[in-house]
Amino acid sequence: MSFTHMRIARPVTDLEKSFRLWSQGLGLTRLADFTDHAGFSGVMLGRKALPWHLEFTVCLAHPVTPSPGHEDLLVLYYPDNTEWQRTCRTLEEAGFTRTPSFNPYWDINGQTWRDHDGYRVVVQHQAW
């Protein structure tokens, strides 16, 4: 049996800050949210047409410190140069920090961006 949708779930330090950063940087919208569901609050963001979305959560009773590694990457492919450049600009304007990739492969045709919790997104200028 094949799956129909993918959720990428990540603990964050500031739910609204993470939502604003990722929604502004990548043009994602709030798909759903929840408050104090068994001690967790969260927000899902994405686009209705995409077969994946991000979920950011905070644990109200026992905060979890995000601990992404240098190779924990979300890689998005943009074959169109204009759209790729625009996305890089909006990530910077939203507050992401451009950072050299640990794996130099990603710097050849892309840019790596890091959020305030250390999560990285690679904006790759090529078709998958």
Residue 44 sits in a domain whose CATH number is 3.10.180.10
Asked if 11 and 55 sit in the same domain, the reply is yes
Please report the pLDDT score of residue 3 as a whole number.
87
* Cβ neighbours of residue 51 closer than 8 Å, sequence gap 6 or more: 4, 5, 6
Please report the pLDDT score of residue 128 as a whole number.
86
pLDDT at 58 over 90: yes
Model confidence at 63, pLDDT cuts 50, 70, 90, reads confident
* Residues paired with residue 52 on neighbouring β-strands, in sequence order: 6
For residue 55, give its domain range. 6-59
Specify the pTM.
0.93
CB count within 10 Å of CB 12 equals: 24
Residue 119 lies in a domain: yes
pLDDT at 42 over 90: yes
Q: pLDDT tens-digit profile of 1-37?
A: 688 999 999 999 999 999 999 999 999 999 999 999 9
Length of the chain: 128
Domains in the chain, number = 2
Asked if 48 and 77 sit in the same domain, the reply is no
Residue 1 lies in a domain: no
For residue 35, how many C-alpha atoms fall within 13 Å in the half-sphere facing its CB? 1
What is the torsional sign of CA 77, 6, 112, 15? Answer: positive
pLDDT at 57 over 90: yes
